[in-house]
């Protein structure tokens, strides 16, 4: 009996499902409040994201007629499932990760991009013109930032020589890789902004061009699942960057101290930049993002070779 309960609680309540979602929503509130304060506004109250999510859950869901209903309903669930499972391999709230196996860093990154894939497919599934354009943009942008973002996160793994998250954290316990591998850190942070489709890279859901991108036709439950998936992805991404680049997390307070500055960096950067067109983003990523990360890797390998 003892064995059964903790993993269930792990899974559903504390670091897993509900805990992850609530923390994600809290982090989304911090993000919206920061953006508002930087724009000289008061910004939303602390329970705003929860109220939004709850209201969307209680609203009626319209399923357009010529849409494959199973895909329409299933894709949001697949997206959020991917992100929630990614939450299991990441040291949330400073506690050691629930599960870890060799190569779990790669699996987490794959699970995170599962949400973007399901958003793209959801956009492709409807007849609304805006969703089709939004879907193509989401997928093109996925190929742009995915490779540099993954290579940036594999930098610390290279330094330690293993793909297991716990080993990497243990290996780099003392040093802050943020300063020893600065280029990798910058590309990782900007890659996270690309993955979360934040303003410089929010062409896929550019409100003034294609209304709401791939999610134009979603309402109620489907919309809230995608929205919660996006906020949880932000939380998971922040924890990964903090864990890998800031010398591991060893306690809830340390977790908050390390993730909030990164969130401040992201919000600040977001308010300073105009939205890039989709071709400009792809150009930016492949011309600068990939080259910078390769440069970082070369430096790493040369240093490892010497020592």
Partner 1 sequence: MTQLSERWKEVIGKVKTWAFTNSIYVVHFNSGSCNGCDIEILATLTPRYDAERLGVKLIGSPRHADVLICTGPVSLQARERLLRTYQQMPDPKFVVVVGSCGVQGGVFDGCYNVMGGVDTVIPVNAYIPGCPPRPEAIIDGIVKLLGSLRSPAKAVPVLNPEGKVS
Partner 2 sequence: MVATAPAPKPVNAELLADVEPRFVKVREFLEPIASRCTVAPGFNSPEPNRIDVNIEAGDLLTAASAFYDNHWGYLAAITGLDHGPEEDYLEALYHFCGGAAVTTLRVKLPRHGGSVPSIAERIPAAGFFEREFAEMFGVYPTGLQDCSHLFLPEDWPDGLYPLLKDTEIPSPKTIASMDGLDKPIVDQGGGRFIVPIGPQHPALKEPGHFEFTVEGEIVVGASMRLGYVHRGLEKATESRNYIQNLYLLERVCGICSHTHASAYSNAVEQLAGVEVPLRAQAIREIVAGLERIHSHLLWLGVAAHEAGFDTLFMYSWRDRETVMDLLEQITGNRVNYSICLLGGVKQDVNYAQADALRAGLDYLEQRSRHYYEVVTTDSMFLQRTRDIGTMSLAQAEYLGALGPTARASGVVRDVRVEAPYGAYRRFPVSVVMDTAGDLEARFKVRLKELFVSCSAIRTILDNLPDTELTTRMPRRVPAGETVSRVEAPRGEAFYFVKSNGTDMPERVKVRTPSLCNWTSVLNQAIGRQLADVPLLIAGMDPCFSCNDRMVVVRDNSMHHGVRSASSKGDAHHTEIWTWEKLRQYGIDFYRRGGNK
Partner 3 sequence: MKIGTMLSDVVRSFLDKPATQVYPAVRTETPERLRGKVKWDPSRCSGCQLCVKDCPSGALELITLDRANKRFLMLYRMDCCTYCAQCVHSCRSKCFEMDSEDWEMAALDRLSFAQYYGKEADVDVYLEQVGHPDAEKPGVD
Task: Give CA angle at 58 (54, 60), nearest 5°.
Answer: 140
Report the distance separating Cα 188 and Cα 238, nearest Å.
Answer: 10
The interface partner of residue 162, options being partner 3, partner 1, partner 2, none and the CB cut-off 5 to 8 Å by kind, is: none
Smallest gap, in angstroms, from Cβ of residue 126 to partner 2?
8
**Site residues (CB under 8 A) for partner 1, limited to 177-216:** 207-208, 211-212, 215-216
Residue 211 within binding range of partner 2, rule CB under 8 A: yes
Using CB under 8 A, count the residues that bind partner 1.
32
Report the distance separating Cα 209 and Cα 144, nearest Å.
Answer: 21
Smallest gap, in angstroms, from Cβ of residue 128 to partner 1?
9
Q: Which two tokens stand for residue 102?
A: 């060799």
The interface partner of residue 45, options being partner 3, partner 1, partner 2, none and the CB cut-off 5 to 8 Å by kind, is: partner 1
Residue closer to partner 1, measured from CB, 165 or 212: 212
**Site residues (CB under 8 A) for partner 2, limited to 19-58:** 38-41
Residue 36 within binding range of partner 3, rule CB under 8 A: yes
Residue length of the chain: 307
Residue closer to partner 2, measured from CB, 173 or 208: 208
The CA dihedral of 269, 274, 279, 281, to the nearest 10 degrees, is 0
Q: Judge contact between 212 and 205, C-beta under 8 A.
A: yes
Report the distance separating Cα 273 and Cα 278, nearest Å.
Answer: 15
Residue span binding partner 2 (CB under 8 A) among the ranges 51-59, 124-132, 235-243, 286-294 = 124-132
The interface partner of residue 202, options being partner 1, partner 2, partner 3, none and the CB cut-off 5 to 8 Å by kind, is: partner 2
Task: Give CA angle at 230 (191, 297), nearest 5°.
Answer: 20
The secondary element (H helix, E strand) that includes residue 105 is helix 104-125
Q: Which DSSP category does 89 fall into? A: G
Residue 41 within binding range of partner 1, rule CB under 8 A: yes
Tell me the Ramachandran region of residue 189: left when phi exceeds 0, alpha when psi lies from -120 to 50, beta otherwise.
Answer: alpha
**Site residues (CB under 8 A) for partner 1, limited to 129-148:** 130
Residue 254 within binding range of partner 2, rule CB under 8 A: no
Q: Which two tokens stand for residue 118?
A: 């399901």
Residues forming the site for partner 1 (CB under 8 A): 32, 36, 39-45, 47-48, 51-52, 54-55, 58-62, 130, 207-208, 211-212, 215-220, 223
Q: Which residues bind partner 3 (CB under 8 A)?
A: 36-43, 268, 271-273
């Amino acid at each position: 009996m003892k064995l059964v309960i903790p993993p269930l609680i792990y899974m559903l309540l504390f670091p897993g499902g509900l805990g992850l979602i609530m923390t994600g929503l809290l982090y989304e509130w911090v993000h919206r409040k920061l953006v508002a304060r930087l724009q000289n506004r008061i910004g939303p109250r602390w329970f705003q994201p929860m109220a939004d999510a709850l209201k969307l859950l209680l609203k009626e869901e319209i399923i357009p007629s010529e849409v494959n209903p199973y895909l329409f309903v299933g894709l949001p669930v697949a997206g959020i499932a991917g992100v929630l499972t990614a939450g299991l391999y990441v040291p949330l709230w400073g506690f050691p990760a629930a599960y870890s196996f060799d190569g779990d860093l790669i699996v987490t990154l794959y699970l995170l991009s599962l949400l973007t894939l399901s958003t793209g497919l959801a956009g492709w599934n409807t007849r609304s013109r805006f969703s089709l354009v939004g879907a193509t943009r989401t997928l093109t942008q996925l190929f742009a930032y995915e490779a540099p973002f993954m290579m940036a996160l594999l930098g610390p793994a290279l330094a330690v020589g293993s793909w297991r998250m716990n080993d990497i954290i243990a290996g780099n316990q003392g040093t802050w890789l943020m300063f020893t591998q600065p280029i990798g850190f910058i590309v990782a942070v900007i890659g996270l902004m690309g993955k979360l489709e934040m303003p410089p890279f929010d062409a896929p859901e550019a409100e003034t061009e294609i209304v709401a991108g791939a999610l134009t036709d979603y309402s109620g439950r489907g919309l809230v699942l995608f929205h919660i998936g996006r906020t949880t992805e932000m939380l998971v991404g922040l924890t990964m960057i903090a864990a890998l680049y800031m010398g591991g997390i060893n306690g809830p307070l340390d977790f908050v101290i390390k993730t909030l500055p990164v969130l401040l960096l992201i919000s600040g950067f977001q308010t300073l930049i105009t939205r890039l067109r989709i071709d400009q983003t792809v150009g930016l990523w492949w011309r600068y993002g990939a080259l910078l990360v390769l440069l970082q890797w070369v430096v790493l390998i040369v240093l490892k070779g010497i020592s």
